[in-house]
Amino acid sequence: MDPALRRVLSAVLLLLMVIFTGGVVVWLIGAGRWSLFETIYYAIYTVSTVGFSELPGTDSFAIVRVVTGVLILGGLGAIAFFQSTLTALLIEGVIGRAFRRRRMQKQLESLSGHFVVAGCGRTGKYVVEELAQIGQRFVAIDRDEDGLMRLSEEIGGGLLYVVGDATEDHTLVAAGVKRAAGVVSALSDDRDNLFITLSVRTLNPSARIISKAVEIENEVKLSRAGADSTVSPNRVGAHRLVSELVRPDATAFLDHLRVDRDLNFEFVEMPAKSSWAGKSLRAIPIRDRTNLLVLALREPDGNYVYNPAPGQVVEAGVQFIVIGEHANVDKLRALLDGD
C-alpha cells in the first residue's frame, strides 16, 4: 500500500477509536441511563466540536464532564492528524503525481536521439542502471508504475518513463521511439520482444534495435524481424560463469575498470574533414591530451588492427577503440574535430 494512503487510513482509525472509546466510557459511567447509540452519537458531535447539547442527566455524573473534556482534546488531535494526512495525500499524491506526469511529458516530447528500454524486469532493470551510470538519455517503459518509481529512486531520481504495454504502438510513440537512436527490448517473453522489434522497425527504420532472446533458437527469428543484435542472458551468464571459474583475476580487473574508475571501452571515428586524417598514430597526441589507451583500430571494411603500431596511418572513417573515462573520450572527439 502507498505510504501516504496508509497514513490516511491510520488517521481514520485513530479518529474512530477516539469516538468509540469515548462513547463506550460514557455509556459505562451511565450504567444504563443512556443507550450505547446515544453515547457514541454524543461522542461524535463532541469530537467534531459541534456541541449540540449534553446528555440528559449529565449533572448527576460529574465524571462525564471530565471524560467529555478529554474526548474534546483527543478528538481535536485526531481530527488535526486526519486533516494533515489527507492534505498530504492530495498534494503529494494526486496533485503531485499529476504535476510530475505533466513535467515528464514535456521532457519526453523534447527528447531526440535517445534510447528506449522496453521492459524493466529482471534484465531491463540492469539496462536502466547501466545507461544511467554512463550518462545516456533514455526512456523506460513498463506496466508497473510503482516499480518504475522505485527504480527511479534507486538510480538517484530523474528517470523518464512511460507506463504501459511496450507491445502497443501508442506506448512506443509516447516514449518517443520515432525520434530514438536505439531501442532495447528486454521483456521476458520472446514473442513480445519479436512484436516490439517489428513495431519499432516500422515506426523508426533507422533505429538500432537490441533484443533480448530468452531461447537461443529465437535469435534468428528476432534478427529476421529487424533486430540489429540479440543478446541471450543465459549465454552471457554462462560465459561470465566460466570466466569467473578459469580466469577470475582477468574478470576482476575488467570489473575494476568499469566500476571503480568509471572506465569503459569506446569507439571514436576519425572525421573525414579532420586535420589528423591520413597521419600516423604517433603524430596524433592522443595520450598526451586525452590520457586514453588505444587498444585497436576498426577500418571501414570491418577489419580490426589490434595493438596498432605507432606508425600506423589512420585514414578518415577509421574508428579508434579506446579505453578510458568518458570525459577523456569527449576530449578525443574534440581533438579529432579540430577543437
Query: CA 330 to CA 339: how far, in whole Å?
Result: 11
Is it true that 112-237 and 255-337 share their CATH fold?
no
pLDDT digits (tens, 9 = 90+) for 174-223: 999 999 999 999 999 999 999 999 999 999 999 999 999 999 999 999 99
The pLDDT confidence band at residue 284, using thresholds 50, 70 and 90, is very high
Please provide the average confidence, as pLDDT, over all residues in the chain: 87
Domain ranges of the chain: 3-105, 112-237, 255-337
Share of the chain above pLDDT 70, in %: 93
- For position 74, what pLDDT does the model report? 84
Dump the DSSP string for 178-219: GG-SEEEE--S-HHHHHHHHHHHHHH-TTSEEEEE-SSGGGH
Which CATH number is associated with domain 112-237?
3.40.50.720
pLDDT at 45 over 90: no
Yes or no: say if 197 and 211 are a contact pair by the CB < 8 Å rule: yes
- C-alpha grid cell for residue 310? 605507432
pLDDT at 78 over 80: yes
pLDDT at 58 over 90: no
Which CATH number is associated with domain 3-105?
1.10.287.70
- For position 52, what pLDDT does the model report? 72
pLDDT digits (tens, 9 = 90+) for 257-268: 766 556 778 899
The pLDDT confidence band at residue 137, using thresholds 50, 70 and 90, is very high
- For position 95, what pLDDT does the model report? 65
Fold of domain 255-337: Alpha-Beta Plaits (3.30.70)
Query: CA 285 to CA 292: how far, in whole Å?
Result: 10
- For position 324, what pLDDT does the model report? 86
Higher pLDDT, 54 or 23: 23
Q: Which residue has the cell 574508475?
A: 261
pTM above 0.75, yes or no: no
- For position 76, what pLDDT does the model report? 83
pLDDT digits (tens, 9 = 90+) for 225-261: 999 999 999 889 899 899 999 999 988 887 777 665 5
pLDDT at 17 over 70: yes
- For position 320, what pLDDT does the model report? 95
